[in-house]
Amino acid sequence: MHGNIFRYKCFDMGHPIDELPKTEDIPPRCECGSLIRPDVVWFGEMLPENAVMRAYQAIETCEVMLVVGTSGIVYPVAGFPGVAKRAGAQIIEINPEPTPITFDADVSVRGPSGGVLPQLLEKFLEKRAETP
């Protein structure tokens, strides 16, 4: 949703930049003359429309949504769990504190994701190994 820090684009036209030009100019410029920047969404910028559309397509067909380590207050992403819930998905929230998403969650696990996710994966792998 928020781009890729390992990719670049130009400010004015959004031209994708595969490789930074070899230059003394800091910051470097695109062939169109515009400055080059990381291909990420900065505070106050809109999310890429196609990324939002692809996310909604995935949300409408998912069976389970993991909501991990988010405040749950920045839209449109904060609305994704509610959309998934209405489409029939189970919502599992992992967060140290309750959030507005807790209301829609079928399961809320309190704790930091770095501790909870490895434990969940371990339990999942155990259960899967037991299943014939």
**Binding flag, residue 107, Zn ion (CB under 5 A):** no
Could you tell me which stretch among 5-13, 54-62, 85-93, 114-122 binds Zn ion (CB under 5 A)?
Answer: 5-13
CB of 16 to Zn ion, least distance (A): 9
Nearer to Zn ion, 40 or 52 (CB): 40
CA distance 32 to 15: 9
CA distance 15 to 50: 16
Tokens describing residue 76: 């449109």
Binds Zn ion by CB under 5 A, chosen from 1, 16, 23, 32: 32
**Binding flag, residue 28, Zn ion (CB under 5 A):** no
CB of 21 to Zn ion, least distance (A): 11
Distance of CA 14 to the CA centre of its chain: 21
**Binding flag, residue 37, Zn ion (CB under 5 A):** no
Tokens describing residue 107: 């399961």
Q: Are 85 and 123 in contact (CB under 8 A)?
A: no
**Binding flag, residue 15, Zn ion (CB under 5 A):** yes
Cis peptide before 27 (omega within 30 of 0): yes
Nearer to Zn ion, 31 or 106 (CB): 31
Could you tell me which stretch among 9-17, 20-28, 65-73, 105-113 binds Zn ion (CB under 5 A)?
Answer: 9-17
Active-site residue, 2 included: yes
Q: What 8-state DSSP symbol labels residue 69?
A: S
**Binding flag, residue 29, Zn ion (CB under 5 A):** no
Classified as helix, coil or strand, 124 is helix
